[in-house]
Amino acid sequence: MMSLMNEKKAAECLGLSVGTLRNWRCNSEGPSYLKLGGAVRYRPEDLKAYVEENLVTHLGA
């Protein structure tokens, strides 16, 4: 079975509040998610991809 996280677990994983994830969803931002009936679920690989896509590096000094 596929491993899915509810929004509380996803928020904990990202170090964010559940409210932040809800705001992002309302604004079509943030990591990809699934809607299963009325439930919102996140796949761990989507959270990881979102973190990787938002990596900021500073080159030079």
pLDDT value of residue 44: 97
**1 pLDDT more than 70:** no
Q: Which two tokens stand for residue 33?
A: 């998610």
Give the Cα separation of 31 and 28 in Å (integer).
9
Mean pLDDT of all residues in 1-23 = 95
The yes-or-no verdict on residue 9 having pLDDT over 80 is yes
pTM attached to this predicted model: 0.87
Within 10 angstroms of residue 10's Cβ, the number of other Cβ atoms is 24
14-41 pLDDT, tens digit each = 999 999 999 999 999 999 999 999 999 9
String of DSSP letters for 15-51: T--HHHHHHHHHTT-SS--EEETTEEEB-HHHHHHHH
